[in-house]
Structures are given as structure tokens and as C-alpha cells.
Amino acid sequence: MKIKSKKIKIIIISILAVCSIFIIAGLYFYQVAVVPGHKSFINNDTKLVKTDPLYKEKKWYQNAHKQKWVMKSADDNLKLDANYIPVANSKKTVIILHGFMNNKDTMGSYAAMFHKLGYNTLLPDARGHGQSEGNYIGYGWREKVDIKKWAKEVIQKNGSDSKIVIFGVSMGGATTMMASGLAMPKQVKAYIEDCGYTNVKDEVEHEAVDLYHLPAFPRFPLVEVLSGITRLRAGYFLGDGSSIKQVAKNRRPIFFIHGEKDTFVPTQMVYKNYQAAKGKKELWVVPGAKHAKSFATRPAQYQKKVKDFLNRYL
């Protein structure tokens, strides 16, 4: 009996030790994946380089006069910050959403493109990014309600005859898709998403392989632990944040863009998102483009594709 009792104790201690390791690892990856801060694998450099194919667009944004818009988040009472650049006598506005640990100023080239097309541009900092408050990253799932509120801000300031487009890249693309599943004001006419993921959990699991080369075990239990910690600290399970389920609810036109050589958000994800969409939809997989580089890879064609899409539906 004593030998059996010792074996049981060893098993229990071993289980507790393994659980403790996963919890500690989960807390570490929560810091890496969900807590805002500098990430070594993310480039948010906004320095101007003349060899940049989007140099003129970024230069224009740098010099453009920007109005500061501020509002409280749809929940959590967080102060959110945005830049607004108007076009004289235009009722068309695009809300431009940035990627993971980027900020509104990294989206300057897109603001220049839309401004050239005659759109007022509103560039918010997402929760926990740039000058907005927040101690977690919602990957679009928590932020989607803020986008609806930003749209209402546009309507309040620019009038009920506003025509609004929501556009985003990477996490901003996923946020765009997640917001598309909400009951949006009728003034929101269309969505454009560039290289957004299918689901937060899908993307985190992919990065666990891509960045940390984790095999199936311990990847699966570790992601589950991370998801539970995220629910406790940030208010959502990773699996909640589904672009696929949200675009399936949307009936307004949506344009899907993705780089052919995207490995950060695998290109195959865009086909799943596109297939899930039930309304009018278009898809462009950009030859030779890496993650979030479709505009820089094909600037003229990118602008024409966006212009043609918007002309069809606005």
C-alpha cells in the first residue's frame, strides 16, 4: 500500500508540475501576444526613405494637417485617439485600421491614397496602441465595437448623408471583417480588408509554429492555457475572434486583398474568409506580395482596384 501511495503522490506532483509549467509559459506568451509593447518581430518604423515605393504618399501624410478626434471606447471607458484629414465638400469617409502593434501613423500611405480618391480619412489608434488607452490587444474582437462607434462619430460630425467605408490591414483587416458582422449604421456602405486572419486562435497557433517552431505538443495545450488567461485578463477567448463567422453575417460589399507570398498571415486564410462571405464580394491575391506589402508591391494597380470597387458600390 505504501508503494502504491508513493506512486500516486509522484503522479499528482508530476501533473501539478506540468500544469505549473504550462501556466507560467501561458503567462509569458500572454505578455508577448496580448500585452501592448514593443515586439521584435513587428516593424512599425515610419521614417521616410526615398527608395520606398510609397514615399510620396507617406510624405504627403506627414505634411498633411490633421485634426485630433477623441472618444471613449464602446466599453471599458478607454480614451481612444484618432487623426482625421478632411477633403473639402466630401461626404465620403474611410475609417483606416492599422495592424498589430502599429499605430495610425503607419497607415499614412493608405490615407494619401484614399484622400486622392476624394475621401475624408479617419485613422484611429486601436486599444493599447499609439495614443489610445488600454492594457490588452483585442485582435479586432474587442475593437470591433469601437469601429461602430467611430462610424457614429463620423455621422454625427459630417451628417446623416455620410457614406462610410471601413478599411484595414493585417489585424486591421481582421477588425474590419469582425466589425462587418455587427448591425452597422446604414451610412456604412462597404468594407475592404487586406491580409486579415480567419480567427485569432488560428493566427496565434500559426505564429507559435512560425516564430517559436513549437510542435503540436506542447503547442495545443499552451494555446488553450493562453486563451484562458486572455479570457480572464482581456475578456475574450482566442477562439471567439472569428473573422469567418462575422463576414458570414455581413450583407454589404466587401473586398478581400491578400499577398500571394504572405507567410505571417498565410495566404490560404483569405480563401476561407472569402468563401464565408454571403454578400457581394471581390477577391484579389496580389502576385509576389508579402504580408501587408500589397500596396507597396503594386501601388498603381492597388489604387485602381480599390477605386473600381468603391465606384461600383458607392
* Class for the domain spanning 48-199+241-313: alpha beta
For the CA atoms of the chain, what is the radius of gyration? 21
Of the CA atoms within 13 Å of residue 116, those in its CB half-sphere come to: 16
pLDDT computed for residue 16 by the predictor:
53
Closest to 163 (Cα-Cα) out of 124, 193, 181, 189: 189
Is the pLDDT at 218 greater than 80? The verdict is no
Q: 188-205 burial, b if ≥16 CB within 10 A, otherwise e?
A: bbbbbbbbbbbbbbbbbb
What DSSP element (H or E) covers 110?
A: helix 108-116
Residue the block writes with cell 478607454:
78
Comparing 15 with 273, which gets the higher pLDDT? 273
Is the pLDDT at 71 greater than 80? The verdict is yes
Which amino acid does the sequence have at 88?
A: A
Is the pLDDT at 10 greater than 90? The verdict is no
> Average pLDDT, stretch 117-144?
97
The domain locations on the chain are 48-199+241-313
pLDDT digits (tens, 9 = 90+) for 184-217: 999 999 999 999 999 999 999 999 888 887 777 7
> Average pLDDT, stretch 251-267?
97
pLDDT computed for residue 221 by the predictor:
87
Name the grid cell of 214.
513549437
> Average pLDDT, stretch 300-307?
98
pLDDT digits (tens, 9 = 90+) for 162-177: 999 999 999 999 999 9
Is the pLDDT at 41 greater than 90? The verdict is no
> Average pLDDT, stretch 94-119?
97
Is the pLDDT at 141 greater than 80? The verdict is yes
pLDDT computed for residue 31 by the predictor:
92
What average pLDDT is seen over the chain? 92
Q: CA torsion, points 154, 158, 164, 169, in degrees to nearest 10?
A: -50
Does the reported pTM lie above 0.85? Answer: yes
Closest to 240 (Cα-Cα) out of 283, 201, 278, 270: 201
**Cβ–Cβ contacts within 10 Å for residue 297, how many?**
17
What DSSP element (H or E) covers 142?
A: none
pLDDT computed for residue 245 by the predictor:
98
> Average pLDDT, stretch 2-20?
60
What DSSP element (H or E) covers 33?
A: helix 2-33
Confidence tier at 258 by pLDDT (50, 70, 90): very high
Instruction: List CB contacts of 95: < 8 A, sequence separation 6 or more.
Output: 122, 124, 147, 150, 151, 154, 164, 165, 166, 167
